[in-house]
Chain A
Amino acid sequence: MREIIKARNLTYKYPDGTEALKGIDITIRSGERVALLGLNGAGKSTLLMHLNGTLRGEGELEIDGLKMNKANLNKIRSIVGLVFQDPDDQLFLTTVFDDVAFGPINQGLDQNKVMERVKDALEAVDMLWAVNKSAHHLSFGEKKRVAIATVLSMKPKILALDEPTSNLDIKGCKSLESLLINLEQTIVIATHSLDFAWRVCDRSVILSSGEIIADGPTRKVLTDEKLLTSIDFEIPLSALLNKV
């Protein structure tokens, strides 16, 4: 399969001097579902923010064959759909329709095409019924789904999600899980939830203080007790139950 994300020696320092990424090398192929795991401050979100050029560190980064630079920025942003942790940040317009249509309109599509994209995206997350609602009339889980739709409507090749399960109840997690598994896109998820990673992602990457310390099939990485305890992780319950 094609290499869709390629990072070589990616480093990033926050303005206050914190080194968030210290030489990240990673290659992600088209269609993979990858979990970025790590404790708070490990650099998961920072790495995610690099994928669509929100943050730009040193080193090489190639998205779908395009080098990350100013000229390619707009193209890259329609390739990588970034879903933020707080749906209240992602949904900033007055109706669900406007929010989901925002990306496609900016891509320069005509009205019919935009309507089609909105319909498809909202159907995918099972939220079409809320098309005329305002975001503040929705529950947190519903907002989260709409936030994903705002990105799906742009037909991105890569979906990057920052902590998709935070604050989400069990039901919300489950429906999110089945939604993600049924998508064809390449998916990169930054999360604390090892169980969620176990169920959704076929590959897991563990970050610790800005470095990749493990990268491999989820079934292997998340059952490596020695590795997990060394960075204060625990084997996910799902893994233990699956073993039985």
Chain B
Amino acid sequence: MCRNHARDIVDTDKLVRDHCDNTKSSSDVHLHSHRHGKVVHKHPHYHPPAKKHVDAGDEKQHQHTHAYSFEVYSYADSAIHRLDARTKTVSFVALILAIVLTPASEVWRFLLFMLLIGSLYTTSGVPLSFGIKRSLIIIPFVAFAGLLLIFMPDKPHPSMYEFGFASFPIKHGGIFILFNALIKSWLSILTVVLLYSTTPFPKFIKGLEMLRFPRPITMLFAFMYRFMWVLTDEIKTMIRARDARAFGMKRNLQHMRVIGQMIGSLFIRSYERAERIYIAMQSRGYSGTVNTLDTSVLTRQDVIFILLFFGLLIAILTWRF
């Protein structure tokens, strides 16, 4: 059974659809939906004939997980998700630049940025709570650096804040710098979370390549993405092997030594795997550059989005009362 979907017109999708049309095979292309928590995802989906669906009303549902937790929303569907990876990358990087370039004193501009980011989240269907939860990771770093600034002596207008038993010199400029760092980094991270929650990582990398990003760096990203979990699995195996034999081991110096040895052997394993991968690459004609086909095309929606988005950014940056 083949049901076509005119969405996500990437050539590779067409490959499967054509295959279905031509062979009338049992390979199944259909609109598919599954849940992550409360969010329902719908996207074109392919199946080997052997895997069966459980029908749930009109929409077919079945168990399906995305391997990485950061990808939970990447494969959902929305106007933002449907945009080309390049469009999103360029727009969102521009947004981050705009945020960073805004003077901290003009707080209302940040409110506008917040509004913009909020509406992007709403359009994309990625829950804002997910973005906020993910973005909190940046706070300790910035807060730690910023807190030191607060207590630096403030020459022109030293002012003391009294907390009952003690008094601290707190620099007004310092608080300002802390606010500056916090708001900018937080909004930037919210934007980054939005970018990776609306763009599957392989498409993001392909987008970077098509934007003429240096190949070695995109390859580094690609390898990281591909082998992150392979390595994690190897670590898990090693930890299991250790735990199977290390019962009763105390958390002392000896324990530290075991961890050190594990890190060492993980390094050797990765090194050897890298060598095997290199041989596999050479066997398929690798000669110094990794070439992949460009598969996505910019649509009218992309152009409209970019024009609107940059217009908005310029408006927020230059508007005066």
Partners in one complex: yes
Which A positions have Cβ atoms within 8 angstroms of B? 49, 52, 54, 74, 77-78, 81-82, 84, 86, 88-95, 97-98, 101-103, 105-107, 111, 114-115, 118-119, 123, 126-132, 134-137, 150-151, 154
Give the residues in chain A near B273, CB-CB below 8 Å.
88-89
CA distance A101 to B46 in the complex (A): 19
Of B15, B28, B286, which contacts A115 at CB under 8 A? B15
A137 x B284 contact (CB < 8 A): no
Select one of B202, B280, B286 contacting A94, CB under 8 A: B202
Does the CB pair A151–B284 fall under 8 Å? yes
In the complex, the answer to whether B284 meets A106 with C-beta atoms within 8 Å is yes
Identify the interface centre among A54, A92, A95: most chain B CB within 10 Å of its CB.
A92
Q: Are A77 and B12 in contact (CB under 8 A)?
A: no
Does B190 lie at the interface of the complex (its beta carbon under 8 Å from any beta carbon of A)? no
Q: Which residues of B contact A98 (CB under 8 A)?
A: 202, 292-293
* In the assembled complex, B302 has its CB within 8 A of some CB on chain A: no
Given the interface pairs A94-B226, A105-B292, A106-B286, the reply to whether A129 lies near B16 with Cβ below 8 Å is yes
**CA A212 – CA B226 in complex, angstroms?**
39
The B153-194 residues at the A interface (CB cut-off 8 A) are: none
Our pick among B46, B222, B280 for the contact of A90 (Cβ within 8 Å) is B280
Contact B67 A137 (CB under 8 A): yes
Known: A77-B283, A84-B280; 7 extra A-B contacts, CB below 8 A, are A89-B277, A89-B279, A92-B223, A92-B227, A118-B15, A119-B15, A137-B66
User: B47 an interface residue at 8 Å Cβ cutoff?
Assistant: yes
* Pairwise interchain contact B12-A97, C-beta atoms closer than 8 A: yes
* Residue B11 interfacial (CB < 8 Å): yes
- The answer to whether the Cβ of B196 comes within 8 Å of any Cβ in the partner chain is no
- Alpha-carbon distance between A115 and B19 when the two chains are bound, in angstroms: 12
Query: Is B230's CB under 8 angstroms from A101's CB?
Result: no
Nearest Cβ on chain A to B291's Cβ, whole angstroms: 5
- For residue B320, give the distance in angstroms from its CB to the closest CB of chain A: 45
B292 touches A101 (CB 8 A): yes
Interface residue from A52, A126, A129 paired with B46 (Cβ < 8 Å):
A129
CB-based A-B contact count at 8 angstroms:
119
Q: List 29 A-B contacts (CB under 8 A).
A: A77-B284, A77-B285, A84-B276, A86-B276, A88-B227, A89-B276, A90-B280, A92-B223, A93-B290, A97-B12, A98-B202, A102-B281, A102-B284, A102-B291, A106-B284, A111-B293, A119-B15, A128-B15, A128-B27, A129-B16, A129-B27, A131-B46, A132-B10, A134-B202, A136-B230, A137-B67, A150-B284, A154-B284, A154-B285
Q: Report the bound CA distance from A26 to B15 in whole Å.
A: 42
Asked whether B202 lies within 8 Å of A131 as measured between CB atoms, the reply is no
Q: Is the CB of A106 within 8 A of B280?
A: no
A136 and B284 form a contact (CB under 8 A): no
Chain A residues within an 8 Å CB radius of B16: 128-129, 131
Given A54-B282, A128-B27, A132-B10, do A88 and B230 touch, yes or no (CB 8 Å)? yes
Contact check: which of A54, A101, A123 meets B293 at CB < 8 Å? A101
A132 in complex: contacting residue of B13, B67, B276, CB < 8 Å: B13
Residues in A whose Cβ lies below 8 Å from that of B286: 102, 106
With A89-B276, A105-B291 as known contacts, state yes or no: A128 contacts B284, CB within 8 Å.
no
How far is the CB of A244 from the nearest CB of chain B, in Å?
32
Q: Answer yes or no: B205 CB below 8 A from chain A CBs.
A: yes
A123-B19 contact, Cβ under 8 Å, with A105-B293, A134-B202: yes
Q: Which residue of B lies closest to A154 (CB)?
A: B284
B287 at interface, CB cutoff 8 A: yes
Contacts of B205 in A (CB 8 A): 94
CB of B48 within 8 Å of the partner chain: yes
A-side contacts of B47, CB under 8 Å: 129
Complex CA distance for A159 and B46, rounded to whole angstroms: 29
